[in-house]
Amino acid sequence: MKLQELEIFVVAPPAPGWGGRYWIFPKLTTDTGIVGYGECYASTVGPEAMKAVITDVFERHMAGENPENIERMFRRVYSSGFTQRPDPTVMGAFSGLEIACWDILGKDRDRPVWALLGGMMNERVRSYTYLYPQPGQSMDAFWTSPDLHAEAAAAMLDLGFTALKFDPAGPYTIHGGHQPAMSDITKSVAFCKAIREAVGDRADLLFGTHGQFTTAGAIRLGQALEPYSPLWFEEPIPPDNLLEFAEVARAVRIPVATGERLTTKAEFAALLRTGGAKILQPALGRAGGILEARKIAAIAEVFNAEMAPHLYAGPVEWAANIQLAVSIPNLLIAETIETGGAFHQKLIRNTIRWEAGFLHAPTGPGLGIDFDEDVARAHPYAGDRLHLEMQEAPCDYVNGNDFQGGAPPVKE
């Protein structure tokens, strides 16, 4: 069996676009006619340029290869151009292609991917969601309103969620780490207070920051949140200085979580060695794929650290996350977009089962999903913007900061 053909879908989810502006799905076909789907979570270049990178990686390092030889293909890509170091764009391309290879292998053997990774450890996977505006709530007012977030938290609690994430501390800027405005700290405390009062001890609070603070700024914010006992303090500083995570972890009595922007076991291992994080959040469409994430989980075991696969993408990465989560002993939780997301589920013909806060272990072959190419083709992305974008304006210490939750604007 050899990898023979590549096709790439760039799909734009309908507004409000939870999961990003577009999703990139490579489709691989073998010379035996087996088809596998993957997803690339890499947004450093525009979609047309990313398609070119994916095509080059496939043709240069994977075409004609047996899809079983994942380690060999990984080493080719990781070493390409005399690099042998993490590259989020190239490894993002490979990650999606690698996920497609696992889909092929599972289908070839008529077994779920988790069965090829060591078997079932977890029959169901605890899930969490970001808090998003609920029907009847103002989209504009939601992102700065503790009360509206508390209402959304209560609604998610009623559905069965036991962990809820929110990020009121914005903004995401190109300026690197900054000190939070005092108003941002006050607002973040108010969010934690309101949501904790709404859910009591029935749900964990997951506080997101997405790497916008200096080390000292993250410590100031984190210490202010300690009375509300969040389960984690997510990506408190930019991901380009892994040593500084340990300074935050030592100073704040909330577990540090990070990983959505990290690539390969090399970067995750550096965090673990320094004590920078005990909760790892690899995005499988960027970190190197399923096998690389399985290695990251194994390294984490040695440090008594937990895994919480990240998702701000489409349903194929979600499916890959679940396959990994089912197979590892140090699973904490896996991200889901609400109860799965209507368009996410439509793209895979409702083949992932979410129920009362948990994802059930898939039983179908490969990734266990049924990708609907007709739906993918009916929702092409025609723009040239990035999956996510950071603002150029610095933190506003006068008027406050209004972060809109990562939702892309409806108009391009």
d(CA 173, CA 176): 7
Place of tokens 């209560």: 154
Flag whether 229 is in a domain: yes
- Is it the case that residue 408 has pLDDT exceeding 60? no
DSSP 3-state assignment of 307?
Answer: strand
Mean pLDDT of 7-29: 95
pLDDT, residue 412, reads: 47
Flag whether 236 is in a domain: yes
Q: How confident is the model at residue 406 (pLDDT cuts 50, 70, 90)?
A: low
d(CA 195, CA 383): 37
Flag whether 270 is in a domain: yes
Flag whether 249 is in a domain: yes
With 0-12 / 13-18 / 19 or more C-beta atoms within 10 angstroms meaning exposed / middle / buried, residue 333 is buried
Task: Please list the active-site residues.
Answer: 210, 310
DSSP 3-state assignment of 6?
Answer: strand
Q: How far is CA 363 from the centre of its chain?
A: 23
Q: Please, how many CA atoms are within 13 Å of residue 150, restricted to the half-sphere of its CB?
A: 16
Mean pLDDT of 2-29: 96
Beta bridge partners of 335: 128
- Token couple for 328: 């590892």
Flag whether 6 is in a domain: no
pLDDT, residue 410, reads: 47
pLDDT, residue 389, reads: 86
Flag whether 266 is in a domain: yes
Flag whether 77 is in a domain: no
- Token couple for 40: 């690339």
pLDDT digits (tens, 9 = 90+) for 254-294: 999 999 999 999 999 999 999 999 999 999 999 999 999 99
Mean pLDDT of 73-81: 97
pLDDT, residue 118, reads: 95
Q: How far is CA 260 from the centre of its chain?
A: 5
- Burial of 81-117, coded b for 16+ CB within 10 Å and e otherwise, reads eeeeebbbbbbbbbbbbbbbbbbbbbbbeebbbbbbb
Mean residue pLDDT across the chain: 95
Flag whether 8 is in a domain: no
**CATH number of the domain that 332 lies in?**
3.20.20.120
Cβ proximity of 134 and 157 under 8 Å: no
> pTM to 2 decimals?
0.97
Mean pLDDT of 143-159: 97
Residue 162's domain spans which residues?
A: 115-366
Domain tally, the chain: 1
d(CA 282, CA 295): 11
pLDDT, residue 405, reads: 57
Place of tokens 């984690």: 232
pLDDT, residue 400, reads: 86
Most confident of 39-43, 165-169, 386-390, 399-403: 165-169
pLDDT digits (tens, 9 = 90+) for 179-217: 999 999 999 999 999 999 999 999 999 999 989 999 999
